[in-house]
């Protein structure tokens, strides 16, 4: 009796000591040894602002009907997004399997045989038709941690799918406006090439009447050939952009009737700095948090491996074999067995696994912090680009207006002999560069809005 009391006392003390162990605790990002993680946990607890730019549905951000149609096609057909959806299904199947692990396993294993003596006929036919049920009692949270890990992996696959969705929306929009900008640049160069071709004829006529020399003619021809070469590069870039859009839409390479670039009318964006609440809504940040949770539960599972496993096995069936006795007809049999297996020496495997999972958990925490800091820098860059490009567009518009006047004035002065052919060509080249910069600035404005929307986790 004294021995039983001692054993019971030791068992109770062990159980009470385990109640404060990590193996039963669920993951809590606020309890991680990281100030960034604590700030993130506080931000997650705050209610989300449905009207903030990053939380707007993409239909309210990209209102161009043609662009909206392209985005819908990409969301339906894109291979990367479809694979991300399949990953969710895989994770959900694993989660369902982890949840079912709490239930007992059932197996039917019929057996039969016979024996003979001195090459005689087979006799003593015996058979057993047992139904076996085995149930692992999850005292030390081994199944619990596996279930929680599977749930975190499932949620991580959902976050990853949202991140891919956001990237596809941003990719289609960026490619759409890049094609529009290239078409605007091609139209500008084609119009300029017509004018510069006329300049070549004008210079030749001026040479005939003694108003210009051969150098002016050759220089004007060189400018004309230069604009034709630029057109070749622009058309190559346009074809590549078409192919990029086709790939996003999961279609064969083709051309699309996209209009020339116009100013992108973005919704009102009120964002002062980069608060943690903004970063907490990004799918890649949430996925990184889930990855940290998976690493946490892996460490818990490694700790749980040091504790015993309690398994209850029950057998029920029909047999005619009772040891050395063969009984016909047979009869029903039943048995119930409990087994407790405690690891004593596993050649250091459990210790090594625990040390490895602890290190991997620290790596996951480092990656989580890095993801948040990278997201903060990305949002800051996109916000700065958005604001500065708005100011830049005003300045370039004024520059183009002045250069148009300068070109007209220079042409008039050249006609009256008060300016040289070099000044005319310089004015024309400056105007072309400024007009090209204006188109690029319009493209950068559109891309700044798209990149900011994507950086804020938009695309729901």
> Which residue(s) pair with 131 in the sheet?
108, 316
**Which H helix or E strand runs over 202?**
helix 142-208
Instruction: Give the span between the Cα atoms of 104 and 85, in whole angstroms.
Output: 31
pLDDT at 4: 45
> Which tokens belong to 186?
């091609």
Instruction: Give the span between the Cα atoms of 286 and 54, in whole angstroms.
Output: 15
pLDDT at 198: 82
In this prediction the pTM is: 0.79
Structure confidence by residue, pLDDT tens digits, 3-24: 544 444 344 445 445 444 578 7
Helix (H, G, I), strand (E, B) or coil at 422: helix
Helix (H, G, I), strand (E, B) or coil at 447: helix
CA angle at residue 327 from 321 to 331, to 5 degrees?
A: 75
CA angle at residue 391 from 386 to 396, to 5 degrees?
A: 120
Instruction: Give the span between the Cα atoms of 215 and 204, in whole angstroms.
Output: 10
pLDDT at 127: 67
Helix (H, G, I), strand (E, B) or coil at 263: coil
pLDDT at 176: 93
pLDDT at 15: 47
- Closest-CA residue to 283 (of 160, 99, 374): 160
Instruction: Give the span between the Cα atoms of 403 and 416, in whole angstroms.
Output: 20
> Which residue(s) pair with 314 in the sheet?
133, 336
Instruction: Give the span between the Cα atoms of 198 and 201, in whole angstroms.
Output: 5
- Closest-CA residue to 184 (of 239, 113, 261, 256): 261
DSSP string, 123-138: EEEEEEEEEEEEEEE-
In this structure, the strands spanning 309-322 and 123-137 are antiparallel
Counting as low any pLDDT under 50, the low residues of the chain are 1-2, 4-13, 15-16, 18-20
> Which tokens belong to 368?
């989580």
> Which residue(s) pair with 129 in the sheet?
318
In this structure, the strands spanning 123-137 and 111-115 are antiparallel
CA 271 distance to own-chain centroid: 24
pLDDT at 10: 46
CA 310 distance to own-chain centroid: 41
CB 442 within 8 A of CB 267: no
Structure confidence by residue, pLDDT tens digits, 50-97: 677 878 888 888 888 999 999 999 988 888 888 888 888 888 787 777
- Closest-CA residue to 39 (of 375, 446, 359, 311): 375
> Which tokens belong to 457?
């986790």
**104, HSE (Cβ side, Cα atoms, 13 Å):** 13
With 0-12 / 13-18 / 19 or more C-beta atoms within 10 angstroms meaning exposed / middle / buried, residue 421 is buried
> Which tokens belong to 427?
């004015």
Phi, psi angles (nearest 5°) of residue 66: -65, -45
DSSP state at residue 119: T
Q: Which residues contact 285 (CB under 8 A, 6 or more apart)?
A: 40, 279, 371, 372, 375, 457
């Amino acid at each position: 009796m004294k021995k039983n009391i001692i054993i019971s006392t030791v068992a109770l003390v062990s159980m009470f000591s385990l109640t404060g162990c990590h193996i039963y605790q669920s993951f809590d990002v606020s309890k991680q040894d990281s100030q960034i993680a604590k700030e993130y946990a506080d931000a997650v607890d705050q209610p989300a602002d449905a009207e903030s730019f990053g939380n707007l549905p993409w239909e309210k951000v990209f209102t161009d009907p043609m662009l909206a149609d392209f985005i819908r096609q990409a969301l339906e057909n894109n291979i990367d997004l479809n694979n991300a959806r399949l990953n969710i299904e895989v994770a959900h199947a694993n989660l369902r399997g982890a949840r079912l692990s709490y239930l007992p396993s059932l197996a039917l294993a019929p057996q039969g045989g016979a024996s003979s003596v001195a090459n005689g006929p087979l006799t003593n036919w015996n058979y057993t038709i047992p139904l076996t049920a085995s149930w692992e009692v999850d005292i030390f949270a081994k199944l619990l941690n596996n279930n929680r890990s599977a749930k975190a992996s499932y949620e991580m696959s959902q976050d990853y799918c949202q991140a891919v969705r956001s990237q596809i929306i941003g990719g289609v929009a960026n490619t759409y406006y890049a094609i529009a900008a290239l078409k605007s640049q091609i139209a500008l160069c084609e119009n300029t090439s017509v004018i510069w071709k006329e300049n070549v004829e004008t210079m030749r006529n001026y040479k005939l009447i003694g108003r210009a020399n051969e150098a002016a003619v050759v220089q004007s021809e060189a400018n004309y050939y230069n604009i034709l070469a630029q057109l070749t590069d622009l058309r190559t870039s346009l074809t590549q952009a078409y192919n990029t859009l086709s790939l996003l839409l999961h279609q064969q390479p083709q051309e699309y009737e996209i209009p020339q670039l116009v100013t992108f009318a973005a919704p009102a964006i009120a964002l002062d700095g980069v608060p943690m609440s903004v970063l907490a809504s990004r799918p890649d940040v949430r996925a990184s948090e889930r990855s940290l949770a998976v690493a946490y539960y892996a460490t818990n599972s490694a700790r749980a491996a040091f504790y015993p496993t309690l398994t209850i096995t029950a057998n029920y069936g029909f047999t005619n074999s009772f040891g050395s006795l063969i009984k016909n007809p047979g009869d029903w049999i039943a048995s119930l067995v409990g087994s407790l297996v405690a690891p004593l020496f596993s050649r250091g495997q459990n210790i090594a696994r625990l040390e490895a999972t602890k290190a991997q958990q620290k790596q996951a925490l480092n990656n989580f912090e890095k993801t948040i800091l990278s997201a903060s820098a990305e949002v800051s860059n996109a916000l700065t680009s958005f604001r500065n490009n708005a100011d830049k567009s005003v300045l370039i518009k004024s520059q183009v207006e002045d250069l148009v006047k300068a070109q007209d004035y220079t042409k008039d002065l050249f006609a009256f002999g008060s300016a040289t052919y070099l000044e005319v060509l310089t004015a024309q080249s400056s105007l072309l560069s400024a007009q090209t910069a204006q188109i690029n600035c319009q493209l950068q404005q559109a891309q700044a809005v798209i990149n900011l929307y994507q950086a804020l986790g938009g695309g729901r």
